[in-house]
Amino acid sequence: MTRGFVADLDLAGRRVVVRGGRAEALAPVTALLEAGADVTVVSDVPGTTIADLADRGLLTVRSEGDDGVLDGAALLVPATGDPDLDADAARRAAARGVLAVRPAVPLLPGGDGRGEVVLVGGGPGDPGLLTVAGLEAVRTADVLVVDRLAPLSVLQQVRPGAEVIDVAKIPRGTFTSQERINELLVEHGRAGRRVVRLKGGDNFVFGRGGEEWQACAAAGIPVRVVPGVSSAIAAPALAGIPLTHRQLTQGFTVVSGHLPPGDPGSTLDWAALARAGTTLVVLMGVATLPAITAELVAQGMAPGTPAATVADAGLPSQRDVRGRVDDIAALTLEAGIRPPAITVIGAVAGFRP
């Protein structure tokens, strides 16, 4: 993976200040994090993805009035998306003896009239797990509409002038509504632009890809699909858990855990899942894991059934917790696991190669 504008600089452990915390800053910020820099983002209103990276301790956000922010900095990267603000930030850095490196300024392209929307599955987070077709679509896009769980470091490969729009949703946090996302895809497609909708995993596995497709189809915009490696399959594999194994199970079932058993909105038959004899893969279930596992046991699943939770699969922070269906919720909580994480329940979760 190229590191774009910082490719030749040794920034490991060096403090780098990025001015701007919105979508324009995502590509430089991910490049700098990959280069091992200690990143401080200066922004009064950081976008959802930058706020989330700060929340996970991967970078620091400081307010715009903070004059001391350049002290000890090796580099300033202006990335506000506004050429005047960027030039001003570079001037102020120069006055303090801090070098400024400016990534390409995005200009909204007119499009070549052949508008289309490509639904690209980005895989679980490691840029190496994006498909060749997905990477090609990213490289040639005019507009990229991206999520927090998409492999953000590939944004360094977008062509100069492409616009990146951050529509991250955070569980129980701020979000861009699905209606607004559909509108964005349609608006840019209609303007003749090549639009890439880049999501984590596969767009049709709890990714609302079907709704986006319908919105585009209703507006007469051509849609292309590039399937992605779903975390439902990749996370167990990366943690060394085969989802099926000849002697152990003849199938797997993937469910969303965002609603606990008994919730009026839930349509899952937990009693059937407890008896199905397939590996059960629960996505979006960190908060509901105590209720889900208790229900599975209450419905007859053996309490000693192996279980594992895998967090941040495909990212440097990947980790897993192993246990049994009757203690995996407590172990997951104790380990301080936060989304994104999946839980695998079934004999294969106890697999040792």
- Contacts with ligand SAH by CB under 6 A lie at 124-125, 149, 199-202, 205-207, 230-232, 235, 283-284, 310-315, 339-342
Q: Is 334 exposed, middle or buried (0-12, 13-18, 19+ CB in 10 A)?
A: exposed
What angle in degrees, to the nearest 10, is found between the helix axes of 178-190 and 209-218?
40
Active site residue 169: yes
> Which residue, 115 or 207, is less far from ligand SAH as judged by CB?
207
Q: Which is closer to ligand SAH, CB of 75 or CB of 144?
A: 144
206 or 252: whose CB is closer to ligand SAH? 206
Tokens encoding 115: 């508008």
- We find the least distance from the C-beta atom of residue 266 to ligand SAH, in angstroms, to be 16
CB of 78 to ligand SAH, least distance (A): 31
Residue nearest to ligand SAH (CB): 201
How near is the Cβ of 252 to ligand SAH at its closest, in Å?
Answer: 14
**Inter-residue long-range contacts of 50-53, CB under 8 Å, 24+ positions, other chains counted:** 50/21, 50/22, 50/25, 50/26, 51/21, 51/174, 52/148, 52/168, 52/170, 53/29
Q: How far apart are CB 237 and ligand SAH at their closest, in Å?
A: 11
Rank residues 58 and 219 by Cβ distance to ligand SAH and give the closer one.
58
Residue with tokens 């774009």: 4
User: Across the beta sheet with 38-42, what order do the strands follow?
Assistant: 60-62, 38-42, 15-19, 75-78
Tokens 């062509």 belong to residue: 159
CA 136/CA 98 separation, integer angstroms: 36
Nearer to ligand SAH (CB atom), residue 192 or residue 242 = 242
Catalytic residue chosen out of the listed positions 147, 166, 202, 320: 147
Q: What is the DSSP string of 78-132?
A: E-SS-HHHHHHHHHHHHHTT--B-PPPPP------S--EEEEEE-BSS-GGGS-H
The minimum distance between CB 10 and ligand SAH, in angstroms, equals 29
How many angstroms from the chain centroid is the CA of residue 273?
A: 28
- Taking the complex as a whole, the smallest distance from the CB of residue 298 to ligand SAH amounts, in Å, to 23
Residue with structure tokens 């897993």?
Answer: 320
- Burial pattern 212-222, b for ≥16 Cβ within 10 A else e, equals bbebbeebebe
Helix, strand, coil abundance in the chain, percent, nearest 5:
35, 20, 45
Q: Kindly name the residue from 88, 169, 326, 327 that is annotated as catalytic.
A: 169
Minimum Å distance from CB 304 to ligand SAH? 24
Other Cβ atoms within 10 Å of 297 Cβ, number: 17
Give the whole-angstrom CA distance, residue 258 versus residue 240.
25
Nearer to ligand SAH, 61 or 232 (CB): 232
Identify which of residues 109 and 257 has a Cβ nearer to ligand SAH in the complex.
257
Active site residues: 147, 169
